[in-house]
Amino acid sequence: MSRRRVQPWWRAAAVSALVAVVGCTLALGVGAVLRRNELAAGDAQMDRRSTAAATAVKIETHRYIDTLRNVAAAVGAQQDLTAADFAAITTPLRAMALAGATSVTLVVPAGNREVARVQQSWRDRGLTGLVLRPHGSGDHAFSVLGTGLNATSSTVGLDMMQAAAPAAALAEARRSRQIAVSDTYHLIIDRSLPPERRQNSFALAAPVYQGAEQSFLGWMLLGVRGQDFMGAMLTAVGPGLRDLTLEADDADGLLVTMASVHHPEAGSADLRRTVEIPVANSTWALRLSADRRTLPGADTGQPLTVAAGGLVVTLLLTSLIWVLVTGRQRARSRVHAATSKLAAEQTAASRQAGLLRAVLDSISDGVGVIGPDGNFLLHNPAARGLLGQEEDAVGGTDSWQQHFGLYRADGVTAFPVEEMPLVRALGGESVDHVEMVVRNNTHPDGRVLSVSARPVDTSGGLRGAVAVFHDITDRKRVETELRGFAGVVAHDLKAPLTLVSAYGELVTEALDDLAAGAGAPTLEQARKGTAKVLHGAARMQRLITELLDYTAARDATLRVERLSMRALVDDVVVTRTDAPDHQAVSRPDVFVGPLPDVYADPVLLRQVIDNLVGNAIKYTPPGQPPRIDITARTDEDGGVRVRIADRGIGIPDGEHAAVFDSFHRASNGTAHPGTGLGLAICRRIVERHGGHIDAGPNPGGGTIFAFTLPGSVAYGPEPVEAPVLDAVPAS
Ligand code: ADP
């Protein structure tokens, strides 16, 4: 399954975008937080300033009220108030710089009918020129004594009831016995001024009670012009503020501006506050506005700087990451390309190595490579098997002879290290077909190897050596066998040939004598000579026949088919026992037990049984009838073991195995004719069928020969076509 690869460009873009988004978010977020803090700081500043301004207004107003309360108390304390007393009490007010205060006046009540009496009573107190000017026909309240403040003179004789605002304040003060503040109105004394100079004003009215009985005398009335009253103070408390407005109700209950300060240069009014200020029986409203930017800490520009800085840093960081990531991607793709190439080369190399290994593993010749230090770098399984040692030699080439058990071709002389093919090849020599015997625990009988070696460049110019080990054990055995074979054949043929030649000459001479008229003895001699010649020829013929059989037993193609062993044995027995040379007394007594059908080569198997039955008859003492038992036993694996037991002369102890070697004749059998090839033929045939043949003494005398045919028993009825079995190759 192939994993979908993310394009490096997209990955870099994704990482950079992520960093950009996070960076921008952080920068803007921090900027926003700082901005919020600034706004909060601005609000707090505005709150503080509003509170301070309101407090200042409140304090100033109370200063006026307290002053008027003191004056009212001082006036009430006079038993017979005169103009001089009044002036003495009120004149110090001028020094108090009560901004906006126009005059402080004593106002006394008078009913409509009491105007003349009241006027007279105050004239009696020394105010001789006093003229009271009643307004309307209701109750009146006349100013009788007055002191001008702030360079303003006071006017007496005015009826305060002519204006609703002061009239209401007087009534309230009298009712509550407390100082009352009037609604906003234009002072009566300002009515003569042009309208643009008239100010919204107010009056404070304090009730005056006289004597121990606290009889009501009238009111102390303090008129105050709004703008003058508050203008200076608002200017003092207002730095940083744009607009300050003091508002109060007028007589109609409408909120009107009593005083205001305006600083147009202070920017826009984006912060606004309204603070209510209780004044006596009324409540004023102080409205403030400011430009946030003028308040300290409220608009530092820091949030913008931080956000902009953050964005710039993010931009730089994003660029840096883009460069880094794409650079990393480029480096990675270069590494990937190099790795892919390397992997492809590695795959090709390992495929080559695998192929080489497979070839080396599959060939029967051993291959070994050594490095410059004489240690094996490589060897195939065949080399291991041929050298017969699982472990490598420790100690370099010097230890090889001991470790592997290496001998010269004679099998006894230790192989000199310096002559070993690999050692010579390590020295730069090419060596071919050096015979060497390996004998150790794995190969106790020794293996003959033909070794060829070449110098080879192992790695980095270092010289090593490679050797090929070819197992020639079988070839050498065949060669040895052939040599012995040739000797024996030469010897065995020479004897009958000499015999034939000698008797041939004898017969020739006898024939010459007969021709010359020799008598019967010479004829008899010629006849005997001819018989000997024929005997010699027969011996030679038998030897040649058996030599051919011996060769055929090894080389002939194995033709396996289903056959009845019983029929085959019966045929051999009949042929052998019906031979004309058997006298009646020595006719073989043969017992044949049950025999199975088998898969085998019928010609070769017949040869085995014929040889064994023939030997059993042949190697029986003269005059004694041969006794032969032929039986068979099958095993669970479908193999059969055939046993041929006789009561003959037996084989001397220690020679039971050797009789199967070619030309070997046991020491007690030489009186009987033979070549010593029969049992060797039997062994070859049995082994080519995958079986084994052996001989042993028959208890009570004689010999038991037994051979096996593994997995060859045929069960059930004979099929139409016999199965094809694997042929056992010739040894
Ligand atoms: P040959 O019979 O031609 O000598 P064989 O190979 O058949 O050769 O037998 C080898 C030797 O084994 C014989 O020479 C003989 O000494 C001995 N031998 C074979 N079969 C028997 C037997 N049944 N009883 C005694 N000795 C035997």
Q: Where are the beta strands (DSSP E) in 362-510?
A: 366-370, 376-379, 406-407, 431-438, 447-457, 463-471
Å from CA of 364 to ligand 1 middle: 38
Is the pLDDT at 1 greater than 50? The verdict is no
Average pLDDT over residues 429-452: 93
Residue 649 CA to ligand 1 center (angstroms) comes to 10
Q: Residue 669 CA: which ligand 1 atom is closest?
A: 16
CA of 660 to the centre of ligand 1 (A): 9
Residues contacting residue 652 through CB under 8 Å, at least 6 positions apart: 666, 667, 668
Average pLDDT over residues 54-75: 92
> Which atom, in ligand 1's list, is nearest to the CA of 668?
16
**pLDDT at res. 35:** 87
Atom nearest to 702 CA in ligand 1: 24
Coil, strand, or helix at residue 650?
coil
Q: What is the pLDDT of residue 583?
A: 53
Q: Which of 53-57, 578-582, 617-621, 641-645 has the lowest mean pLDDT?
A: 578-582
User: What does each C-alpha distance from 650 to 615, 663, 695 come to in angstroms?
Assistant: 11, 18, 10
Residue 401 DSSP label:
I
Q: Whose CA is nearest to atom 11 of ligand 1?
A: 665
More confident residue, 320 or 564: 564
Q: Which residue has the CA at smallest separation from atom 9 of ligand 1?
A: 676
Q: Please give the DSSP secondary-structure letter assigned to residue 664.
A: -
Q: How far apart are CA 502 and CA 71, in angstroms?
A: 195
Direct distance between the N- and C-terminal alpha carbons of the chain, in angstroms, rounded to an integer: 54
Closest protein CA for atom 2 of ligand 1: 674
Q: Is the pLDDT of residue 488 over 90?
A: no
Bridge partners for 56 per DSSP: none
pLDDT (average), residues 384-393: 81
Q: What is the pLDDT of residue 388?
A: 86
Region of poorest pLDDT, from 12-16, 194-198, 694-698: 12-16
For residue 646, give the ligand 1 atom closest to its CA.
Answer: 23
491 alpha carbon to ligand 1 midpoint, in Å?
Answer: 19
**Which protein residue's CA is at the shortest distance from atom 14 of ligand 1?**
665
Identity at 362, one-letter amino acid code:
S
For residue 542, which of 489, 594, 506 has the smallest C-alpha distance?
Answer: 489
Q: How many CB atoms lie within 10 A of CB 359?
A: 11
How far is CA 484 from its chain centroid? 73
- The Cα–Cα gap between 205 and 167 comes to 10
Amino acid at 682: C
**Which atom of ligand 1 sits closest to the CA of residue 680?**
6
- Least confident range from 34-38, 306-310, 452-456, 585-589: namely 585-589
**Local structure of 405: helix, strand or coil:** helix
Going from the Cα of 234 to the center of ligand 1, the distance in angstroms, rounded, reads 154
Of residues 487, 481, 490, 526, the one with CA closest to residue 506: 526
Q: Rounded CA gap, 184 and 165, in Å?
A: 7
* Residue 492: pLDDT over 80: no
User: What are the tens digits of pLDDT across the range 718-729?
Assistant: 665 544 444 444
Task: Read off the amino acid at residue 211.
Answer: G
Q: Would you say 161 and 185 are in contact if contact means Cβ atoms under 8 Å apart?
A: no
Mean pLDDT estimate for the chain? 87
Under DSSP, the state recorded for 159 is B
Number of other CB atoms surrounding residue 396 within 10 Å = 13
Percent of the chain with pLDDT over 90: 44
Report helix, strand or coil for 58: helix
**What whole-number distance in Å separates Cα of residue 188 and Cα of residue 165?**
11
* Site residues for ligand 1, CB cut-off 6 Å: 611, 615-616, 619, 646, 648-651, 659, 664-666, 669, 674-680, 703
* Residue in 483, 480, 405 with CA at minimum distance from that of residue 445: 405
**Parallel/antiparallel/unpaired status of strands 140-148 and 180-181:** unpaired
At 224 the three-state DSSP class reads strand
Which pLDDT score, from 0 to 100, does residue 730 have?
Answer: 40
The closest-lying atom of ligand 1 relative to the alpha carbon of residue 679 is 6
Q: Which amino acid residue places its CA nearest to atom 19 of ligand 1? A: 615
**To test the ligand 1 pocket, which listed residue (549, 619, 684) has its Cβ within 8 A of the most ligand atoms?**
619
Q: Residues 136-162: pLDDT tens digits?
A: 888 999 999 999 987 667 788 999 999
pLDDT value for 542: 83
Q: Are 119 and 100 in contact (CB under 8 A)?
A: no
Residue 164 has pLDDT above 50, yes or no: yes
Here the tokens at position 213 are 């009985």
Site to substitute for ligand 1 among 492, 659, 677, 682, most atoms within 8 A of C-beta: 659
* Stretch 513-528: mean pLDDT: 82
Q: Are 510 and 523 in contact (CB under 8 A)?
A: yes
Q: Rounded to the nearest whole angstrom, what is the distance from the C-alpha of residue 665 to the centroid of ligand 1? A: 6
Q: Which residues lie closer than 8 Å to 94 by C-beta, 6 or more apart?
A: 147, 149, 150
Residue 665 Cα: closest atom of ligand 1: 14
Give distance in angstroms: CA of 410 to centre of ligand 1. 32
The closest residue, in CA terms, to atom 8 on ligand 1 is: 676
What pLDDT was estimated at residue 721?
A: 54
* The predicted structure's pLDDT at residue 722: 47
Give the pLDDT confidence of 623-672 residue by residue, as tens digits: 889 999 999 999 999 999 999 999 999 999 999 999 999 888 888 877 88
Out of 651, 656, 663, 682, give the residue to mutate to test ligand 1, the one with the largest number of ligand atoms within 8 Å of its CB.
Answer: 651
Ligand 1: atom nearest CA of 664 is 10
The candidate with the shortest Cα–Cα distance to 600, out of 504, 501, 723, is 723
The pLDDT, as a whole number, for residue 532 is: 85
Centre of ligand 1 from the C-alpha of residue 546, in Å? 14
pLDDT band with cut points at 50, 70 and 90 for residue 2: very low
Which residue's alpha carbon is at the smallest distance from atom 13 of ligand 1? 665
- Residue of the CA atom closest to atom 17 of ligand 1: 666
Q: Whole-prediction pTM value?
A: 0.45
Say how many Å lie between the CA of residue 618 and the centre of ligand 1: 8
> Ligand 1: distance of its center to the CA of 616 in Å?
8
- Best mutation site among 670, 679, 703 for ligand 1 pocket (most ligand atoms within 8 Å of CB): 679
**Is the pLDDT score of 518 beyond 80?**
no
Q: Minimal CA–CA distance to 208: which of 115, 150, 141, 162?
A: 141
Instruction: Quote the pLDDT of residue 413.
Output: 93
**Mean pLDDT, residues 684-693:** 95
d(CA 4, CA 563): 69
User: In this predicted model, what pLDDT tens digit does every residue of 277-305 receive, in sequence order?
Assistant: 998 889 999 999 988 887 777 777 888 99
Q: What is the pLDDT of residue 6?
A: 55
For β-strands 589-592 and 627-634, DSSP reports them as: parallel
Comparing 134 with 79, the larger pLDDT belongs to 134
Distance 269 CA to ligand 1 centre (A): 142
SS3 of residue 158 by DSSP: strand
| Residue to mutate (ligand 1; options 644, 665, 693, 705; most atoms within 8 A of CB) | 665
From CA 394, how far away is CA 255, in angstroms rounded? Answer: 119
For the chain, what is the largest distance between any 2 Cα atoms, rounded to a whole number of angstroms? 237
Q: How far apart are CA 101 and CA 69, in angstroms?
A: 15
> Do the Cβ atoms of 243 and 229 come closer than 8 Å?
no
Atom of ligand 1 nearest to the CA of 705: 23
How far does residue 493's CA lie from ligand 1's centre (Å)? 19
Ligand 1 centre to CA of 650 (Å) is 9
